[in-house]
């Protein structure tokens, strides 16, 4: 039997920096990067095409798709628009074999490549439990660690990326056997990588808060640049939950690509 291929899949808005990072961390471990960008944000507002092809990208590995049509959701429900973009992304995997693995992550969730070598999923779905960092690569968020980030399934078992993202959760494993409404064929991967959340400038974070599906955080109370900068400087949670983040040292638990390029990433590392 031929070896199953690994496809790293994301929806894309505008964070080329983060895609370049995931590409360099994962390029020797996955067979494909599948990226789906839309002409419209999740509120249905038209935007420009943001994905940037770089000369070092392997065109045989990177598969980029762009949705030209509006989502046409009633009232432009951001969650339904997000689900539609994810479904389009799944349709873009038609070239894969039914035994190939589809990994889906938010763009800032990167699975540990060491887990991808000779990857073998023993259940229907998998969840990568990841360390969470906010604002800087080494500003640790203990409150949301472990983060249930990257999900994976074989193509033959995946009918909806949105279902896999929204309904495949570790807590399902705690339900009684007779709760047939809860999918329990789930494998958990500890030390499953990194959630590098909001490794962005205050301006970029402001744009993100104003356009993503969590509309409750789009008001000036959260999305004003001065407020965001103050929270970054004080290592504080964006959403006023009382979380204080902790600086940690870069060690071999971080991606090797970041460690060997510390000078390049100095703006995103706390000394």
* Residue 215: pLDDT over 80: no
Q: How confident is the model at residue 73 (pLDDT cuts 50, 70, 90)?
A: low
For the chain, the farthest-separated pair of C-alpha atoms sits apart, in whole angstroms, at 57
| Distance (Å, whole) CA 102 – CA 149 | 14
Query: Residue 212's pLDDT is what?
Result: 65
Distances in Å between the alpha carbon of 237 and those of 143, 197, 228?
10, 11, 9
Mean pLDDT of 61-82: 89
pLDDT at 221 (0 to 100): 79
| Residues 219-271: tens digit of each pLDDT | 877 889 999 999 999 999 998 899 999 999 999 999 999 999 999 999 999 99
Do the Cβ atoms of 100 and 7 come closer than 8 Å? Answer: yes
**d(C-alpha 164, C-alpha 125), whole Å:** 8
Domains and CATH numbers, the chain: 6-197 (3.90.550)
| Four-residue CA torsion sign, 175, 178, 181, 183 | positive
Do residues 75 and 102 touch, judged by C-beta distance below 8 A? no
Please give the pLDDT value at position 1: 58
Tokens 């000078």, residue? 263
User: Which residues does 70 contact at the CB level (< 8 Å), separation at least 6?
Assistant: 39, 40, 44
């Amino acid at each position: 039997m031929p070896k199953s291929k690994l496809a790293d899949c994301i929806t894309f808005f505008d964070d080329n920096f983060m895609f370049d990072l995931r590409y360099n961390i994962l390029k020797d471990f996955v067979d494909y990067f599948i990226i789906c960008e839309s002409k419209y944000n999740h509120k249905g507002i038209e935007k420009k095409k943001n994905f940037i092809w770089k000369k070092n990208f392997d065109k045989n590995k990177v598969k980029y798709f762009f949705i030209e049509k509006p989502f046409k959701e009633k009232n432009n429900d951001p969650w339904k628009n997000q689900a539609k973009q994810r479904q389009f992304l799944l349709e873009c995997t038609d070239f894969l074999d039914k035994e190939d693995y589809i990994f889906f992550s938010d763009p800032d969730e990167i699975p540990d490549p060491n887990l991808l070598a000779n990857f073998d999923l023993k259940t229907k779905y998998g969840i990568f439990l990841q360390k969470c960092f906010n604002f800087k690569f080494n500003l640790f968020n203990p409150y949301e660690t472990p983060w249930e980030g990257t999900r994976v399934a074989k193509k033959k078992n995946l009918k909806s990326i949105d279902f896999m993202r929204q309904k495949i959760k570790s807590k399902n494993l705690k339900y009684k056997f007779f709760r047939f409404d809860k999918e329990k064929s789930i494998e958990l991967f500890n030390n499953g990588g990194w959630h590098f959340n909001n490794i962005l400038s205050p301006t970029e974070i402001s744009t993100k808060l104003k356009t993503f599906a969590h509309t409750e955080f789009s008001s000036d109370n959260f999305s004003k640049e001065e407020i965001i900068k103050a929270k970054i400087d004080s290592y504080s949670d964006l959403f006023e939950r009382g979380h204080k983040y902790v600086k940690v040292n870069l060690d071999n638990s971080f991606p090797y690509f970041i460690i060997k390029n510390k000078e390049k990433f100095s703006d995103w590392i706390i000394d």
